[in-house]
Structure 1
Amino acid sequence: MGFKAEGYLLGEKYRERLVSKVKDYEKAKATFAEEKAKFESDKKSEEWGREGLRGKSRAAEELLSKERAKWKEVCKKDNQRMYAARNKITDLEAQITTLTKKVEDAEAYKERVEAELQAQVSSRDKDLHARDVEIAKLKRRLREQTDKSESLKIDLQAERVKAATA
């Protein structure tokens, strides 16, 4: 084996190494292309995900804003109802106070009137008793006068009979 044969063998080995390196390069290039495609896909997915999240965030913000507006409207209506109820309660308490005062005044008036009526009844009872006593006296005097008148009639008739017989 000479220098040529040796060179041929070295050239063959070099060529094989070079072919092996080219194959490795092609494999690495294919792997790189796949990874790059995957990276681009992931990058787009991530961008779309971010856009999706931004969209969801905007939608959530809009929903929150609408819900907040509804909540404020509900609170406003509740406040109006509560204010009206408080005013009604205040009015009713004032009416209760007024009616209680009227009831107390009516009861005091009733007690005064009852006392006056009782005094009048007592006074009338006394008057009636006094009149009953007076009527009894007058009846007694009437009987006495009637008896006296009867006695005088009898005496007068006796006198007439005496005068007629005499």
Structure 2
Amino acid sequence: MYRERADWKKYRERLVKEVRDFKQLRNKFVEEKVAFEAEKKAEEWGPEGLKNNLQAAEELLSKERAEWKKVCEKDNRRMYAARSKITDLEAEISTLEGKVEEAQADKERFEAELNARMVNKDKDLAAKDVEIAELKRRLFEAHDKNESLEIDLEAERGMAETAEEVKKKAKEAHDISTSVLNLA
């Protein structure tokens, strides 16, 4: 019950406040209505006032139109400059793309030449390797032949020395036999 009574008091206070606000708004509306009626009766709502308003609106419109034309001209110049710049950049892009394509073609041609040179060098190296192997084989054969000849030479020297010794001995024997015969 106390709670209901407190709620009722709050409700009553709120209604009293809303009624007060409503009265204030109504008084304000009445004042504004009176001011509007007075203004309506003034010269502004008459034919002269409307004519003056129309002329003012036309002047404002002509000023805005002139300003709009200036803005359009300015935008057109800016857009023309931007379009010229875009056209120049597109031409420059085309030129650069051509240069890139040329550079790519040069690169590919250079790589092909380099690969051909490498293949030729590889072939030359393989031929040189074969030639080196042949020269090594000949060198080893010459070395083996040289060793064989040295052995033969040593054998010949040994035989020559033996033959010389035999000759010396034969001469000594001959000398001895000659001297024995002479003595005899």
Under TM normalisation by the shorter chain, which class is it?
A: 0.7 to 0.9
| Shift in Å, 1:35 | 2.4
Greater relative CO (CA pairs within 8 A, separation 6+): 2
In structure 2, what is the equivalent of residue 56 of structure 1? 74
| Shift in Å, 1:25 | 4.1
| Amino acid in structure 1 at the alignment position of 2:121 | V
Residues 69-88 of structure 1: pairs in structure 2 closer than 5 A: 69-88=87-106
| Shift in Å, 1:49 | 2.7
| Amino acid in structure 2 at the alignment position of 1:152 | A
Larger mean Cα displacement after TM superposition, 53-62 or 73-82: 53-62
Q: Which runs of 5+ in 2 are unaligned?
A: 1-40
| Shift in Å, 1:85 | 0.8
In structure 1, what is the equivalent of residue 119 of structure 2? 101
Distance 1:27 1:120 in 2: 130
* TM-score, normalised relative to structure 1: 0.76
- Over 3 Å counting, the alpha-carbon distance change for 1:73 and 1:158 in structure 2 is same
* TM-score, normalised relative to structure 2: 0.69
Q: Which runs of 5+ in 1 are unaligned?
A: 1-22
| Shift in Å, 1:66 | 0.6
Distance 1:41 1:54 in 2: 20
Distance 2:154 2:108 in 1: 67
| Shift in Å, 1:128 | 0.8
1:159 lines up with 2:177 in the alignment = yes
In structure 2, what is the equivalent of residue 4 of structure 1? none
Larger mean Cα displacement after TM superposition, 147-156 or 25-34: 25-34
- Over 3 Å counting, the alpha-carbon distance change for 1:71 and 1:26 in structure 2 is closer
| Shift in Å, 1:140 | 1.2
| Shift in Å, 1:30 | 6.2
How many positions carry a matched residue from both structures?
144
In structure 2, what is the equivalent of residue 8 of structure 1? none
In structure 2, what is the equivalent of residue 19 of structure 1? none
Distance 1:76 1:26 in 2: 67
1:67 lines up with 2:85 in the alignment = yes
- Over 3 Å counting, the alpha-carbon distance change for 1:46 and 1:142 in structure 2 is same
Distance 2:111 2:117 in 1: 10
Distance 1:120 1:26 in 2: 129
Distance 1:31 1:140 in 2: 155
1:91 to 101, 104, 109: 109
Query: Alignment RMSD, CA only?
Result: 2.2
| Shift in Å, 1:105 | 0.7
Between the aligned residues of both structures, percent identity stands at 10
Query: Deviation digits for residues 134-161 of structure 1, max 9, x if unmatched?
Result: 1012101101110011001101110121
In structure 2, what is the equivalent of residue 133 of structure 1? 151
